[in-house]
């Protein structure tokens, strides 16, 4: 059996803390630079762009939360499919899943910040939290049994409670398997995976409705949850693939070969295509039906300042990865994996930016210090959490029934 443990180098730790610190600094600078005029008692004063602040907090916070929960779901899919190839990188998936408590803290902060006033937290993002708006809007009144703050907070706790419970359970079973030969722990993980997946499918779709679709509460799409799922899986797989490359370059995980990268790249390629299918299908269904309650989402994004970003979104999330990963060799080449991974991650950020910003930050939105700062801040936290988790177990599972298969994986 291969024994290899990861150690967080001072350089990696300093880099992560540096990224976090830089992110915080850029956010503070962004707040002071992006001040917006507010009319108070007949006079106009410049105030901090708090709505943009909280919209970016949600955007970057959700980005890495989605990666964490999809890493858990993907492991469960592989358990039930008897997948052996992914075991070489299984510890990376497990490490990503350990980010979820930080994601939970993000949404708790959003909820608690709402008590500071109408410019903060959930109040800054969601129209349905404003009782005056709800009182004069029949649509919001009809949705109020679901879209109300107490029930919203309860659902956040339910979603994360379930995800964190099963992510930790899978992790503990995996580590326990290292010290106990046989398939007892593997069978327990199979049962855990079988329990997790159907509930995950429901809770993840509901979470995407709650956190993102309800920013524009008069609009809805039955394909929204599936579209966000596809985007999340591509982002997660891109980060796993890139992390595997970087681990090898740092002298770890030498058993991961071009065949493992090929399989991970195929998932990036395939689900980029699936994302494009759901994205285009959602648009075509709404365009063809032309129902008044459905069209405002696209009208606001196809005109004005957003239209060029709408086109860039499709290019980065489908056209670019499709062309870059079309050949077999490109899926197996480390430099191409890094390049395509960066393109995909930028594309996913823009995809979710277009979902959140036009109806939350609105005219105060843009791209500058605040956007870069928040992403850097959460990226630094993600790096620290992932690195810390990687140190707590052997880098390749011991006694897993498919360990030998993954070490000799070839396609």
> What integer pLDDT is reported at residue 63 of this predicted model?
97
> What integer pLDDT is reported at residue 305 of this predicted model?
79
> What integer pLDDT is reported at residue 119 of this predicted model?
86
Residue 98's Cβ-side half-sphere holds a number of Cα atoms within 13 Å equal to: 20
Q: What is the CA radius of gyration of the chain?
A: 22
Dihedral sign from CA coordinates of 52, 380, 61, 156: negative
265 touches 241 (CB < 8 A): yes
Q: How far, in Å, CA of 127 to CA of 170, rounded?
A: 38
> What integer pLDDT is reported at residue 306 of this predicted model?
86
Region for 121 from its dihedrals, namely left if φ exceeds 0, alpha if ψ lies in -120 to 50, beta otherwise: left
Predicted confidence band of residue 36 (pLDDT cuts 50, 70, 90): low
**139-151 tens-digit pLDDT:** 999 999 999 999 9
Structure tokens at 70: 């999809």
φ and ψ of 129, to 5 deg: -85, -10
Predicted confidence band of residue 303 (pLDDT cuts 50, 70, 90): confident
**322-358 tens-digit pLDDT:** 999 999 999 999 999 999 999 999 999 999 999 999 8
* 33 pLDDT higher than 90: no
> What integer pLDDT is reported at residue 42 of this predicted model?
47
Count CB neighbours of 178 within 10 A: 16
Mean pLDDT of 60-64: 96
Q: pTM score > 0.85 for this model?
A: yes
> What integer pLDDT is reported at residue 40 of this predicted model?
44
DSSP-assigned beta bridge partners for residue 43: 40
φ and ψ of 2, to 5 deg: -80, 130
Predicted confidence band of residue 365 (pLDDT cuts 50, 70, 90): confident
> What integer pLDDT is reported at residue 333 of this predicted model?
95
Query: Lowest mean pLDDT: which of 73-77, 201-205, 366-370?
Result: 366-370
Mapped onto helix, strand or coil, the DSSP state of residue 88 is helix
**151-201 tens-digit pLDDT:** 999 999 999 999 999 999 999 999 999 988 889 999 999 999 999 999 999
380 touches 165 (CB < 8 A): no
**312-331 tens-digit pLDDT:** 999 999 999 999 999 999 99
Q: How far, in Å, CA of 120 to CA of 17, rounded?
A: 27
φ and ψ of 351, to 5 deg: -55, -50
């Amino acid at each position: 059996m291969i024994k290899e443990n990861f150690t967080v180098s001072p350089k990696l730790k300093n880099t992560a803390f540096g990224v976090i610190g830089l992110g915080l600094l850029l956010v503070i600078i962004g707040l002071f630079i992006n001040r917006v005029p507010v009319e108070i008692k007949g006079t106009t004063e410049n105030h901090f762009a708090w709505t943009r602040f909280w919209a970016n907090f949600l955007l970057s916070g959700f980005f890495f939360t989605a990666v964490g929960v999809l890493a858990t779901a993907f492991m469960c899919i592989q358990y039930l499919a008897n997948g052996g190839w992914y075991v070489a990188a299984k510890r990376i998936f497990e490490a990503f899943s350990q980010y979820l408590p930080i994601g939970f803290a993000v949404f708790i902060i959003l909820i608690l910040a709402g008590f500071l006033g109408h410019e903060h937290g959930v109040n800054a993002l969601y129209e349905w939290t404003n009782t005056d708006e709800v009182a004069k809007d029949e649509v919001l009144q009809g949705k109020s049994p679901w879209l109300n703050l107490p029930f919203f907070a309860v659902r956040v706790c339910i979603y994360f409670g379930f995800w964190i419970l099963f992510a930790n359970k899978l992790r503990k079973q995996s580590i326990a398997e290292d010290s106990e030969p046989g398939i007892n722990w593997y069978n327990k993980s199979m049962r855990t995976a079988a329990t997790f997946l159907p509930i995950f499918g429901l809770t993840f779709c509901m979470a995407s409705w709650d956190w993102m679709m309800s920013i524009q509460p008069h609009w809805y799409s039955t394909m929204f949850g599936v579209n966000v799922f596809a985007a999340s899986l591509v982002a997660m797989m891109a980060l796993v693939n890139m992390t595997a490359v970087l681990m090898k370059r740092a002298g770890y995980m030498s058993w991961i070969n071009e065949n493992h990268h090929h399989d991970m790249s195929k998932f990036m390629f395939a689900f980029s295509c699936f994302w494009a299918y759901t994205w285009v299908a959602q648009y075509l269904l709404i365009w063809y039906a032309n129902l008044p309650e459905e069209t405002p989402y696209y009208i606001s994004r196809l005109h004005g300042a957003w239209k060029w970003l709408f086109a860039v979104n499709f290019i980065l999330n489908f056209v670019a990865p499709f062309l870059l990963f079309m050949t077999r060799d490109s899926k197996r080449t480390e430099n191409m994996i890094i390049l395509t991974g960066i393109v995909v991650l930028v594309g996913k950020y823009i995809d979710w930016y277009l979902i959140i910003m036009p109806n939350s930050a609105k005219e105060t939105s843009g791209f500058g210090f605040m956007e870069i700062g928040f992403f850097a801040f959460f990226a630094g936290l993600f790096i620290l959490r992932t690195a810390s988790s990687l140190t707590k177990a052997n880098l390749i599972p011991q006694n897993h029934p498919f360990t030998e298969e993954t070490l000799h994986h070839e396609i």
